[in-house]
């Protein structure tokens, strides 16, 4: 990551890979980077039309869409190679992609469904992020310019997710992964951080927010609302900045004081 401003004081353009960027928080993050003049690779898994809509709507030019199933370890190296070929390198990785399976509380969930939920969630939310970070970090090291990795975790990693325990565990693992990598990658000037959002106004939770649970969810925060995707994106932008090097290893709560610890 080139921390030296270009002539005239203009920050250098960064090459940014955002996973799960075809909508919601990921799309907001992609837009925030593009608004700063960065070039963005919009990753998607199964929604090419939505991903392309996001790409077309980004400010600036030079953005691309890239597809990969992050649950497949074999898909990771070609994904990184594709981004490097398109953007010329990777300066920032945002591990945002995540899956949320149907509820699977330990009591009342059939064992085959329990096994499936854990397999599917961990494959993307934790193992996919770990495998991708391994490959991107190697690319950053070969570039010799440092970099930033920002993980999008969850409040659920801290307070628990009794209806979705695999999701909560995957995000707790993602936070821990970030802290381990922050130590391991610091000698290469790669800073690794995580954010832990609470409820965010996205399509994924729109049904719950508009239904009977909506006010109960909003009242969890003393602000009596949930976050906007842009608020999460603003925090990611800071953590990916050169000014945030010393935040490496941090997990930033973004839950509107709905859960304090």
Sign of CA dihedral 81, 146, 26, 57: negative
Q: For 197-206, what is the mean pLDDT? A: 86
Catalytic residue among 44, 45, 170, 171: 171
CATH code, domain carrying 192: 3.40.50.720
Q: Is the model's pLDDT at 143 over the cut of 50? A: yes
**Burial profile 191-225: b = 16 or more Cβ within 10 angstroms, e = fewer:** bbbbbbbbbbbbeebeeebeeeebeebbebbeeee
Strand 64-67 to strand 190-197: parallel, antiparallel, or no bridges (unpaired)? unpaired
Catalytic residue among 45, 167, 170, 248: 167
Ramachandran bin of 88, using left for φ above 0, alpha for ψ from -120 to 50, beta for the remaining angles:
left
pLDDT in tens, 91-134: 999 999 999 999 999 999 999 999 999 999 999 999 999 999 99
Q: Is the model's pLDDT at 226 over the cut of 80? A: yes
22 is catalytic: no
pLDDT in tens, 210-221: 888 899 999 999
pLDDT at 205: 75
What is the residue-averaged pLDDT of the chain? 94
What backbone phi and psi angles, to 5 degrees, belong to 251?
-120, 115
SS3 of 117-141: the string is HHHHHHHHHHHHHHHHHHHHHHHHH
Q: Does 218 map to a domain? A: yes
Catalytic residue among 22, 44, 45, 154: 154
Range from 23-37, 178-192, 209-223, 230-244 carrying the lowest mean pLDDT = 209-223
Q: Does 185 map to a domain? A: yes
Task: Give residue 5's pLDDT band: very low, low, confident or very high (50, 70, 90).
Answer: very low
Q: What is the count of structural domains for the chain?
A: 1
Q: Is the model's pLDDT at 40 over the cut of 60? A: yes
Q: Does 146 map to a domain? A: yes
pLDDT at 11: 60
**Coil, strand or helix: which one is 203?**
helix
171 is catalytic: yes
167 is catalytic: yes
Q: Tokens standing for 80?
A: 């990184």
The residue range of the domain holding 140 is 9-250
């Amino acid at each position: 990551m080139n921390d030296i401003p270009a002539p005239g004081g203009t920050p250098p353009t960064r090459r940014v890979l955002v996973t799960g960027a075809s909508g919601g928080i990921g799309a907001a993050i992609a837009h925030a980077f593009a608004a700063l003049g960065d070039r963005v690779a919009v990753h998607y898994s199964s929604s090419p039309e939505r991903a392309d809509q996001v790409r077309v709507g980004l400010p600036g030019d030079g953005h691309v869409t890239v597809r990969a199933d992050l649950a497949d370890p074999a898909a990771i190296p070609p994904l990184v190679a594709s981004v490097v070929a398109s953007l010329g390198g990777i300066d920032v990785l945002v591990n945002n992609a995540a899956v949320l399976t149907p509820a699977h509380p330990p009591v009342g969930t059939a064992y085959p469904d329990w096994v499936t939920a854990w397999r599917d969630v961990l494959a993307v939310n934790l193992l996919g992020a770990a495998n991708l970070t391994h490959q991107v970090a190697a690319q950053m090291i070969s570039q010799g310019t440092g970099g930033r990795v920002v993980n999008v975790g969850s409040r659920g990693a801290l307070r628990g997710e009794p209806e979705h325990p695999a999701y909560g565990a995957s995000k707790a693992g993602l936070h821990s992964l970030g802290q381990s990598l922050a130590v391991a990658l610091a000698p290469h000037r790669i800073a690794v951080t995580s954010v832990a959002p609470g409820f965010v106004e996205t399509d994924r939770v729109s049904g719950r927010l508009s239904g009977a649970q909506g006010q109960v969810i909003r009242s969890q925060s003393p602000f009596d609302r949930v976050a906007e995707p842009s608020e999460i994106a603003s925090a990611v932008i800071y953590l990916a900045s050169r000014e945030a090097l010393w935040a490496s290893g941090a997990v930033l709560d973004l839950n509107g004081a709905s859960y304090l610890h």
